[in-house]
Structure 1
Amino acid sequence: MKILVCIKQVPDMESKFKVAASGKWYDTADLAWRMNEYDEYAVEQAVQVKEQVGDADLTVLCIGGERVKETMKKALAMGCDRGVHVADDKAAEKEPFEIAGIIAEFARDKQFDLIFTGMQSQDRGSAQVGVLTAEMLGIPSISTIVQFAYADGRIETRRELEGGVKSIVKAAAPALVTCQLGLNTPRYPTLPNIMKAKKKELLSLPVADLLKVDARQETGKMYFPVKKGGGLVLEGEIGQLVDQLIQILKEKTGVLA
């Protein structure tokens, strides 16, 4: 059995962000970096399947500059067998369709039975890469899963929908799933496994070998929301509050004039 898990390196969300000089992304200087939180659930689930099956082969893939190798080492220490680093210093400039195209091109002839990704990345938050990858590969995808089971070449998942509703979705392998908070509890790599990870294969591929699709979108501008004035608190009896509110609406909008 062959399994692929895709991860992304993102800034620690406690970092202080500022817009880069280009105006199209955040400034990456002086930021602390970590594995995308949703991808940690994907790695943990992939490792659990590997442990369940016994003879599974698990590859972790990450796109980015040289820096992302440190994050990949955590995935290797969690239980992945090898790493594939797609070297791309301009990965942040690529839209989800391009990123999905890179992953699909790598996976196309590898015959992976299962592909795991995070539901979305914490910095871009598009939630598109996983499902686009599955579409490009022509395999079923199940998104936002909070429960997963595998047996006899089939998967059964529980999806989390808006309003707290959950649905059960089944599919036959090969298939791709995107992982949500609550799916599992990611393990902490032990010191022996961290040491073993240093000896595992970590192959680097140039992004030019895998980028076969053209961008369909581009980021025009990034900016912080404009700060608005504080709210107005009205006090008094209900009748008085109604009169005050109507007067304010008349002054601000002229709608009730």
Structure 2
Amino acid sequence: MKILVCIKQVPDMESKFKIDSENKWYDSADLAWRMNEYDEYGVEQAVRLKEQVKDADLTVLCIGPDKVKETMKKALAMGCDRGVHLVDDAISAKDPFTVASIIAEFARDKDFQYIFTGMQSQDRGSAQVGVLVAEMLSLPCITTIVDFEYTEGKVTTRRELEGGVKAVVSVSGPAVFTCQLGLNTPRYPTLPNIMKAKKKELLSIPVEEIVQVENKLQTEKIAYPEKKGTGLILEGDAGELADQLISILKEKTGVLA
């Protein structure tokens, strides 16, 4: 069984973000970087499946500049067999369709039985890449999974829906899964596995050798939310609050005058 897990390197969400000089994205200088949290669940589930199935082979894929290799090493230390780095210094400017096109073209002739992605990335948050990859490869896709069980070639999952509802969905054969928070508890790489990861294959391929594709969307501008007036806090007992509220409404709108 061949398994693929796709990850993305994102800034630590505790970082202080600034808009870049072109007003198109955030300034990447002075940011701390990590694996996208949703992707960590995907890596953990892919590793668990690899451990369950004899002779399974697990590849981790990441698109981006040279610095993403540090994030890929964590996936290798968690249990992936090899890494494929698709070199693209301009990945932040690419829309979800373009990113999915790159992944799909790489995976098209590799006979991956199962492909895992995070539900969404923490920086862009489109939740589209995994679904688009499945569509481009003509594979079924189960999204926002919070439970995964593999038995004799069949996968049974639970999907998280709005309102806390869980839907049970099963699939046989090749499929794509997008992973939600709570699917599992990602393992912490041990020192011996970190050392082993240094010897694992980490292949770098220029993204242009995979596919030539143009963005479908262009970002015109990003900006901070406009500052608005501060709220008014009323104090007192219920009767006083009611009188204050009525007075304010009369003053502001004249509706109750």
Q: Is TM > 0.5 for Structure 1 vs Structure 2?
A: yes
Aligned to 1:115: 115
Structure 1, residues 169-219: CA drift from partner, whole Å, max 9, x if none? 111120000111111111111111111111111111111122344322121
The answer to whether residue 16 in structure 2 is matched with residue 16 in structure 1 is yes
Other structure's SS at 1:131 match:
helix
Alignment RMSD: 1.6
Distance in 2, Cα, partners of 1:109 & 1:253:
65
Moved more, 214-223 or 48-57: 214-223
Q: Between Structure 1 and Structure 2, how many residues are aligned?
A: 257
The answer to whether residue 77 in structure 2 is matched with residue 90 in structure 1 is no
Letter paired with 1:50 = K
Aligned to 1:218: 218
Moved more, 151-160 or 130-139: 151-160
C-alpha distance 66-245 of structure 1, shift in aligned 2 (>3 A): same
Aligned to 1:161: 161
Provide TM-score, normalisation by structure 2. 0.94
C-alpha distance 87-253 of structure 1, shift in aligned 2 (>3 A): farther
Flag as ranges the 4+ runs of structure 1 deviating above 6 A.
Answer: none
- Where structure 1 has 5 or more consecutive residues not aligned to the other structure, the ranges are none
**1:223, distance to aligned residue in structure 2 (A):** 1.7
Aligned to 1:80: 80
Moved more, 244-253 or 92-101: 244-253
The answer to whether residue 2 in structure 2 is matched with residue 2 in structure 1 is yes
Moved more, 206-215 or 61-70: 206-215
Letter paired with 1:82 = R
- Where structure 2 has 5 or more consecutive residues not aligned to the other structure, the ranges are none
C-alpha distance 17-160 of structure 1, shift in aligned 2 (>3 A): same
Aligned to 2:61: 61
Distance in 2, Cα, partners of 1:253 & 1:121:
43
Provide TM-score, normalisation by structure 1. 0.94
Distance in 2, Cα, partners of 1:85 & 1:59:
11
Other structure's SS at 1:66 match:
coil
